[in-house]
Amino acid sequence: ETGKVDQVMINSLFAEFMLKKRKYANLSAVMLQNCLFEPCVGVRDDLDPRLYTILNRAIFFISQAEMNNIIIKNTIDLQEGSIMTIVDKLSIDTIIVVCIVLLSIIVLLLFLIRARSQSMSKIRTILYQDALTGALSQFGFEEETSRLLSNDERKFFIVDFDISRFENYNILHGVTQGNALLCMTIQIIEGHKDEFVLCARIYADHFVVLIAADSYELVIKRINCIDAIIKKELKDSSIIINYGIYEIVNRKLAVKEMIDRARAAKRTVKGNASNYIGLYDSAIHDKEREDGEIISCMNESLAKGEFTSYYQPKYDAHTEKLVGAEALVRWVRQDGKMIFPDRFIKLFEQSGQIIELDICMLEQVCKTQRDFIDDGINPVPISVNFSPIHLYDRSFVESVNQMTDKYRVPHHLIEIEFTESAMIENLKAVKNIITALHRSGYLVAMDDFGSGYSSLNVLKELSVDVVKLDREFMKFEDKTQKGELVVQSVIKLAKKLSLVTVAEGVEIEPQLDFLRICGCDIIQGYYFSKPVDRDTYKKMLLSRTN
Ligand code: C2E
Ligand code: CA
Ligand code: CA
């Protein structure tokens, strides 16, 4: 091929194979007829002489075909693996088809890669950006903040804020106006990029910003400045925005946790014009940690029987006889410390553990009633508080039935209390549950009536048996006697609807006298008795019957 060799003598099979290659196209083969080459074997000179003889004999017995195989195996076969050999073997048409197929595959792959990267960037946008305002989302904020904190030495603060009663704004001005307000808030903040380094809408009217500043005072100054601009733009100074500030002291903390701290600080403000900025401090942190501990040890305490039912007797307003009681949970820790429900009920409602706790209280009440019956004491109905969560539980009435039947307690001795607000929020579910409870023979009470925003109409809507007037009604400080008038009207209406009225929180005689005049049926409060333990309650019942 290069002109260095004129002739090569090779096996005809190998020659045929080589000549198919394009690079040898200018060569040709000449067949040497009658040219016999005797096969030879080369050996090392220290080979055992006996082997020569064997080889010399054997070599004559190798057929021509076998010989060709040996040659092919050691020459052509070696070349077979290389791509060029394969390409050489293929015809032009085949090569074109293969190229087209390969090209199509490459184009398809490129298309897929592009589509994937487009959808990845869409997902990223969705994750990173808030669709309504175009600001960062919480995820985007977290990512950007942690990136920034790792290479920016400045002092930073996280501020979480929301617009007080934003739902009302939506109702009053419409959702479009509401959305415009949210977008405007972002625009105003983004117009102050130097001070508000990052800004995100977390959800609804909840925002979070990252501020670079040297002190709390400076942060508050900036917040007030933005606050004023928003109110000015809205031409509405009555709008209240609540802010919570967390100073980033520990940069290793997850950004989500930092936002939570700013939010915890925000929860401490009252939402009025003079108290709308909350600062995060260790007391908040301690309380939140304590909250966490309360939630985490609830199950164990329940198993240990640390939750016990106290009983607050209820008295007939006229005869002053004990006619019923309310079961109130008390958490008595192993060290004897007593924790009151206001400290843990809300937390257990958040964690969902309240369901177990309420059923546990019902069980204690059932046991108590059973024991009294067995001891020959004539029991009076005991009301049990149930959290609104039970209204979402389809098997609620069944669970109550199971418990009362387990202790063979006549159903009229159990009264079920739901708060007014729980009932209003779940009107439809409540109606069904009340019907089912009545069918099973239980009494149903509406607790804390008057504490929410419901109208008197709700008493007509729901067929409860008992209305418990909220404790707040007993504060007759109002010299115009408006409070008294409300109490009077509620009792009057309840009477018309044949409902039993219970006044809670009665502490002094004038309250009792007034309620009597109004026609209130039952009195519950410190005037007669505080909530007492089971044994004390039993003694009270006994002294009544005796
Ligand atoms: P509530 O159902 O309105 O219970 C009445 C609360 O008023 C009780 O507080 C009681 O001790 C208090 N009280 C009674 N008479 C007076 C009085 O004359 N003056 C004053 N200042 N207070 C009086 P307690 O026991 O701390 O319970 C607070 C709330 O915790 C209850 O309010 C109820 O909403 C909830 N709760 C209590 N036990 C349970 C329970 O087993 N399950 C659920 N879900 N909630 C419960
Ligand atoms: Ca109650
Ligand atoms: Ca109440």
What pLDDT tens digit does each residue of the chain (546 aa) get? 566 777 777 777 778 777 887 777 778 888 776 666 666 778 888 888 778 778 877 877 787 778 777 777 776 655 555 666 666 667 788 889 999 999 999 999 999 999 999 988 888 888 899 999 999 999 999 999 999 999 999 999 999 999 988 888 888 888 998 999 999 999 999 998 888 999 999 999 999 999 999 999 999 999 999 999 988 887 777 789 999 999 999 898 899 999 999 999 998 887 777 889 999 987 888 888 889 899 999 999 999 999 999 999 999 999 999 999 999 999 999 999 999 999 999 999 988 999 999 999 999 999 999 999 999 999 999 999 999 999 988 899 999 999 999 999 999 999 999 999 899 888 888 999 999 999 999 999 999 998 776 677 788 889 999 999 999 888 766 555 667 888 898 999 999 999 999 999 999 999 999 999 999 999 999 999 999 999 999 999 999 854
CA of 446 to the centre of ligand 3 (A): 9
Atom 11, ligand 1: residue with shortest CA distance? 531
Quick one: pLDDT at residue 92?
83
Quick one: pLDDT at residue 76?
60
Rounded to the nearest 10 degrees, how much is the dihedral formed by the CA atoms of 367, 370, 376, 380? 90
Q: Where are the alpha helices (DSSP H) in 426-470?
A: 427-439, 457-461
User: Strands across the sheet with 206-212, in order?
Assistant: 196-203, 206-212, 156-163, 241-247, 277-279
User: Can you tell me whether residue 418 is helix, strand or coil?
Assistant: strand
Angle at 535 between CA 534 and CA 540, to 5 degrees: 95
Using a 6 Å cutoff on CB, does residue 531 contact ligand 1? yes
Do 400 and 429 contact (CB within 8 A), yes or no?
Answer: no
CA of 472 to the centre of ligand 3 (A): 10
Quick one: pLDDT at residue 239?
84
Give the number of the atom of ligand 1 that is nearest the alpha carbon of residue 526.
18
Using a 6 Å cutoff on CB, does residue 312 contact ligand 1? yes
Q: Where are the alpha helices (DSSP H) in 9-48?
A: 12-19
With CA atoms as reference, report the closest residue to 142 among 248, 60, 52, 9: 248
For 453, list phi and psi in degrees, rounded to 5.
Answer: -110, 20
Give the number of the atom of ligand 1 that is nearest the alpha carbon of residue 504.
15
Do 226 and 188 contact (CB within 8 A), yes or no?
Answer: yes
To test the pocket of ligand 1, the residue of 308, 311, 328, 508 to mutate (highest count of ligand atoms within 8 Å of its CB) is 328
Terminal C-alpha separation, the chain: 130
Ligand that lies nearest to the alpha carbon of residue 502, given by its number in the listed order: 3
Give the number of the atom of ligand 1 that is nearest the alpha carbon of residue 507.
18
Using a 6 Å cutoff on CB, does residue 447 contact ligand 1? yes
Distance, CA of 120 to CA of 496 (rounded, Å): 66
pTM for this structure?
0.65
Do 446 and 468 contact (CB within 8 A), yes or no?
Answer: yes
Do 322 and 382 contact (CB within 8 A), yes or no?
Answer: no
Distance, CA of 280 to CA of 246 (rounded, Å): 5
